[in-house]
């Protein structure tokens, strides 16, 4: 008897390693502005923060800066064009998904990535037909850590939150899951920053590789 009815994943840094493509797009913009590209290991911990975090890292500016919108537009344009250049499921994740499916459980994605980026990526990786739901950052009026996306995913998958497991690599993921009484796991293999304190996030446990998810289902 399975412990859960559904397993939900954050996308970037949990289900899929998208950092190489985000880094590629960001570095192309840097080169266009005659700035030196950044190494992947510098960009990786910020990959879950979307364009605001990545632009802050690379250019040291925020949305209030006059150049921000131009830089952000160009970054997103490049990322959309190269969204599946190197992005792949994390090692071992395909086995996890197949095991979930063979057990007759549902799985889905709950991400803060906007749908115009989430949907093409899921389609390119041939995951869109396998997922019971794909909830993007703009699917509901509020994004994580608000509970709305979590409840939307449960409704779409016809499951109760307390019968679900959610895995994410950011504090907002764990907070959102905990609010609706999902069991939560921290994907430590994802895009955690050196300043993060995951031990304070009140997750059920921390996992260090995708295969460890199988110990929970």
pLDDT score of 53 more than 70: yes
The SS3 call for residue 88 is strand
For the question of residue 21 being annotated catalytic, the response is no
Range 141-170 average pLDDT: 98
Cα separation, 214 vs 94, in Å, equals: 12
Cα separation, 158 vs 78, in Å, equals: 37
pLDDT at 58: 98
pLDDT score of 2 more than 90: no
Helical (H) or strand (E) element with 102 = helix 93-102
| Mean model confidence pLDDT for the chain | 97
Catalytic one of 5, 10, 91, 119: 10
Contact 90, 17 (CB under 8 A): yes
For the chain, percent of residues with pLDDT exceeding 90: 98
Contact 17, 138 (CB under 8 A): no
Range 185-201 average pLDDT: 97
Residues forming a β-bridge with 103: none
Distant-in-sequence, close-in-space partners of 100: CB < 8 Å, separation ≥ 6:
7, 106, 107, 217
pLDDT at 1: 57
Write out pLDDT tens, residues 119-138: 999 999 999 999 999 999 99
Cα separation, 198 vs 120, in Å, equals: 31
Cα separation, 179 vs 8, in Å, equals: 15
Backbone φ and ψ for 10, nearest 5 degrees, come out as -65, 160
Its sign, for the CA torsion 93, 94, 99, 102, is: positive
Q: Which two tokens stand for residue 136?
A: 């993007």
Catalytic one of 12, 17, 21, 173: 12
Contact 198, 146 (CB under 8 A): no
Confidence grade of residue 170 (pLDDT, cut at 50, 70, 90): very high
For the question of residue 12 being annotated catalytic, the response is yes
């Amino acid at each position: 008897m399975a412990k859960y009815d559904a397993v939900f994943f954050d996308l970037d840094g949990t289900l899929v390693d998208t950092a190489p493509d985000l880094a590629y797009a960001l570095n192309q913009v840097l080169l266009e502005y005659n700035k030196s590209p950044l190494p992947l290991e510098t960009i990786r911990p910020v990959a879950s923060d979307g364009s605001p975090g990545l632009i802050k890292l690379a250019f040291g500016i925020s949305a209030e800066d006059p150049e921000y919108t131009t830089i952000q537009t160009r970054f997103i344009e490049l990322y959309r064009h190269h969204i599946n250049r190197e992005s792949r499921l994390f090692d071992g994740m395909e086995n996890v998904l197949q095991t979930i499916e063979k057990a007759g459980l549902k799985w889905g994605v709950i991400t803060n990535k906007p749908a115009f980026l989430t949907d093409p990526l899921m389609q390119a990786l041939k995951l869109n037909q396998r997922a019971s739901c794909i909830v993007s950052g703009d699917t509901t009026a509020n994004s994580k850590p608000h509970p709305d996306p979590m409840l939307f995913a449960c409704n779409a998958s016809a499951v109760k939150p307390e019968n679900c497991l959610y895995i994410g690599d950011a504090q907002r993921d764990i907070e959102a899951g905990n609010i609706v009484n999902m069991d939560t796991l921290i994907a430590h293999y994802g895009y955690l920053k050196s300043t993060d304190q995951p031990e304070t996030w009140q997750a059920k446990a921390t996992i260090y590789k995708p295969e460890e998810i199988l110990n929970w289902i």
